Amino acid sequence: MKEVEELLENATVGKRANGFVYGGSGFGKSATLKDVVKRQPQHRFRIVYVNCSLHRTAALATTGVAVELGYPARGMSEPILTQLIVDKMLEDDRPFIFIFDEIQAVRDSDRLIYCFTRLHEVAKMPKLRHWAVIVATPSRRWLKELEDNQEVMAYKSWLPVEIECPQYNYDQLRAILMDRREAAFKDPYCPVEVVNAIAARAVFRGDARWAIEMLRIAGERADKEYRIVDEGDVLFAASKTESYKILDDLAKFPTANHRLYFNVILQVCVVRATTLDVYERYGTHVAINQLGEPLSRRMCQEIVKYLQDKELIKLEAKWTPGVRGSKVFITVPEEVRRAIEDSKVLNLNGGIKNG
């Protein structure tokens, strides 16, 4: 991506090089950042890439940076790791570029941003060479929340250049699928017409992952019957791909609390319910089943935000005239309920099984 490469060039001459890359799932954010990292001459930059979906807190993300720089993963506190990172920067003549992908997964991401944009203050080292912080998220909502957080002031210390990653068009999707076709199929088992049909169906989402998944499902169906992939396989794949993505998200909940809270949402939101109703039912469920202390309201709000980012729920704010504030309603999309029912992973409480 040209804009990201320009940021890196700015870092070499001390210009503003912080960046915020955003775009929907499957729009190519991570692929673009990784591609830019691979193509940069190592003698010009020291690029540290961290996938924040594996690190749920600022402390863990800092550990991820330290590990990329060659330090052990355990046994040291966050302040010590921060000092070691600064020491490594002082030893190296190259500008450092810190890339935090999927940063919305970090609960205290504002603190992480503040720390890495003010390393010279945090580590009390005023004479650091140029460095930059680039992050990627699925939507701009994360940046808006960072702007509004007046306590940490992370946004003002960062001030990134915003880069939107647009959805793929038909030609781009077709090119990606043709590459996968060459790698996965022998001629003539996947005709070009099949690739064209999948690209045409996927273009309304602009999601490369969705298109690739369709190709995989269509190919596996044809392979089981020892025949060439045809239009019927494409139709079959289109009907299954959405369900597979939903079930994959359900299977990869970060914690048991995410799974439990989503179970409660499924029970309460038969049509829709307020976030307060869901939280109160969650507290009752925890107490009745003796599951320990319930999570705080703030922690549950973080879970709701995660579920919204994964498109497993939808939020809608309703204002009442003359009443201060608004009610936020939660609904579960029909396609999510259908995917769960079709997969037969319902338990007796109306939630999803833990296995």
d(CA 222, CA 229): 5
For residue 290, pLDDT over 90 is answered with no
Q: What is the largest CA-CA distance in the chain?
A: 68
Q: Does 7 score more than 90 pLDDT?
A: no
- Using DSSP's 3-state secondary structure scheme, residue 187 falls into coil
- Comparing 179 with 34, the larger pLDDT belongs to 179
pLDDT at position 173, please?
A: 94
Lowest mean pLDDT among 55-69, 212-226, 341-355: 341-355
Residue range 87-99, pLDDT digits in tens: 888 888 788 889 9
Closest alpha carbon to 8 in 156, 133, 195: 133
Most confident region among 67-71, 153-157, 245-249, 287-291 by mean pLDDT: 67-71
Residue 354 reports pLDDT greater than 50: no
What is residue 348's predicted lDDT score, i.e. its pLDDT?
32
In contact, 300 and 276? CB cutoff 8 Å: no
**Which candidate, 245, 164, 248, 183, places its Cα nearest to that of 208?**
245
Please tell me the predicted confidence (pLDDT) of residue 238: 87
**Token reading at 34:** 């990784």
Mean pLDDT of 243-263: 85
CATH architecture of 253-343: Orthogonal Bundle (1.10)
Considering only 94-98, 176-180, 321-325, which range has the smallest mean pLDDT?
321-325
Mean pLDDT of 100-112: 89
Q: Which string of DSSP letters, residue by residue, matches 297-318?
A: HHHHHHHHHHHHHTTSSEEEEE
**Fold adopted by 170-250:** Helicase, Ruva Protein; domain 3 (1.10.8)
**Residue 73 and residue 107: Cα distance in Å, rounded?**
20
Mean pLDDT, residues 216-233: 93
pLDDT bracket for residue 347 (50, 70, 90): very low
Report the pLDDT averaged over residues 125-140: 79
d(CA 101, CA 229): 36
Q: Which fold has domain 2-164?
A: Rossmann fold (3.40.50)
Task: Identify the pLDDT of residue 154.
Answer: 78
Residues ≥6 apart with Cβ < 8 Å to 331: 269, 271, 272, 313, 314, 316
pLDDT of 179 higher than 60: yes
Q: Name the average pLDDT for the chain.
A: 84
List the domain boundaries for the chain: 2-164, 170-250, 253-343
* Sheet containing 326-331, strands listed edge to edge, beginning at the edge strand earlier in sequence: 273-274, 326-331, 314-319
- Please indicate whether residue 226 or residue 147 has the higher confidence score (pLDDT): 226
Instruction: Write the burial class of residue 48 (CB in 10 Å: 0-12 exposed, 13-18 middle, 19+ buried).
Output: buried
User: E strands, the chain, where?
Assistant: 19-22, 46-51, 96-101, 131-137, 161-164, 273-274, 314-319, 326-331
Residue 351: what pLDDT? 41
CB 158 within 8 A of CB 133: yes
Q: Is residue 352 scored above 50 in pLDDT? A: no
Q: Residue 138, preceding bond cis, omega within 30 degrees?
A: no
> Torsions phi, psi of 56, nearest 5?
-90, -10
At residue 346, the pLDDT reads 42
Q: Report the predicted TM-score, pTM, of the whole model to 2 decimal places.
A: 0.69
Confidence grade of residue 355 (pLDDT, cut at 50, 70, 90): very low
* pLDDT bucket at 326, cuts 50 / 70 / 90: confident
The CA dihedral of 61, 66, 69, 70, to the nearest 10 degrees, is: -130
Helix (H) or strand (E) holding 202: helix 192-202
Lowest mean pLDDT among 38-47, 102-111, 167-176, 222-231: 38-47
What average pLDDT score do residues 160-188 get?
91
8 Å CB contact between 303 and 320: no
The pLDDT value given to residue 151? 59
